[in-house]
Amino acid sequence: MVAPQPAITKLTPKIVAAGAPTTTITVDGANFAADAQVLWDGAPLPTTFVNGSRVKVQAPRALLAIGGAVGLAVRNQTPVEAVSDQAIFTVAAASNAVFMPQMRR
């Protein structure tokens, strides 16, 4: 059986600061099945199905602790397994830089 390929068109938000609390990410797209799962760099997270074009997932604080780019994908499990292309979610590293205005002479 051939199932439509899920596709991601938008992540909201698509960036959070490292160290952020647990964050809900809304994934918009197409062809999401009722049993769709969001994959965080390949690992499934508990996912809430909203409709065929939207799912929501809770990114736990532990996954948001360190900055970096994360690949999010949607996997339909039925009628056959199908996985979307990845969309990039960014956990922005905290900057340790200190801005010092220049003194005029």
List, in order of start, the domains of the chain with CATH numbers.
7-92 (2.60.40.10)
pTM for the complete prediction?
A: 0.86
Mean pLDDT of the chain: 90
Residue 97 confidence class, pLDDT cut points 50, 70, 90: very low
Q: What six digits make up the tokens of 16?
A: 């959070």
Mean pLDDT of 31-37: 96
- pLDDT at site 14: 96
